[in-house]
């Protein structure tokens, strides 16, 4: 069961939330998978999504790569939600810490996921702490970038149809980093 830890109402009935829970159980229009460029669901969140969502997600991911090639930071892929309680999985490729220009790449990844959600005419979206797991991005730094980018996206895109963006976090250290970043932004 997810628990909303922070929520901010923005103009136009929009909400940004920090939630502690399992993103694979979120009942939203789409969840964001912290993917790699070839959509190989071998570990971390991608493997959890595949376990819970079923083989259909892998089949659709493979088809996407055959048709479009590797996924970039700015242009995520998407598949159905398979057996997940969401309609879609948006596969967003975050930066690997140490590859260079990580902050800009993370911003681009978040904007790409939000833009694709708008393109798909979604109302609700859950996204994880992109790149903070096996990609090694420092949690506190990612928290500031992700939260700021979501807020800036809504300011820059006043006609966005997204009503709720849930930053869904699993483990206590990640939750703490995002709560600290949230509280600092609210001051």
The residues with which 166 forms a beta bridge, in sequence order, are 17, 126
pLDDT given for residue 187 in this prediction: 76
Q: Reduce the DSSP state of residue 121 to 3 states and report it.
A: coil
Segment 99-149, tens digit of pLDDT:
999 999 999 999 999 999 999 999 999 999 999 998 999 999 999 999 999
- CA-CA distance, 179 to 27, in Å (whole number)? 22
CATH number of 3-186: 3.40.220.10
Position 11 pLDDT exceeds 80: no
The terminus-to-terminus CA distance of the chain in angstroms comes to: 29
pLDDT at position 75 is 97
pLDDT category at 89 given cuts 50, 70, 90 is very high
Domain ranges of the chain: 3-186
Closest CA to 154 of 99, 124, 105, 111: 111
**Residue 27: phi, psi to the nearest 5?**
-95, 80
pLDDT of 8 reads 92
Look at residue 28 and tell me whether its pLDDT is greater than 80: yes
Side-chain-facing half-sphere of 87: CA atoms under 13 Å = 9
């Amino acid at each position: 069961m997810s628990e909303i830890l922070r929520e901010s109402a923005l103009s136009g009935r929009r909400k940004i939330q920090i939630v502690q829970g399992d993103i694979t159980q979120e009942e939203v229009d789409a969840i964001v998978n912290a993917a790699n460029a070839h959509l190989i669901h071998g570990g971390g969140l991608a493997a959890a999504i595949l376990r819970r969502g079923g083989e259909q997600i892998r089949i659709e991911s493979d088809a996407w790569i055959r048709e479009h090639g590797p996924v970039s930071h700015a242009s995520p892929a998407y598949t159905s939600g398979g057996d997940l309680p969401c309609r879609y999985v948006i596969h967003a490729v975050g930066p690997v810490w140490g590859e260079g220009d990580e902050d800009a790449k993370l911003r681009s990844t978040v904007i790409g996921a939000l833009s694709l959600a708008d393109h798909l005419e979604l109302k609700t979206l859950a996204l994880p702490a992109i790149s903070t797991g096996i990609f090694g991005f420092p949690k506190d730094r990612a928290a500031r970038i992700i939260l700021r980018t979501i807020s800036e996206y809504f300011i820059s895109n006043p006609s966005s149809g997204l009503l709720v963006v849930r930053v869904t976090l699993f483990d206590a250290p990640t939750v703490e980093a995002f709560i600290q970043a949230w509280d600092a932004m609210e001051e």
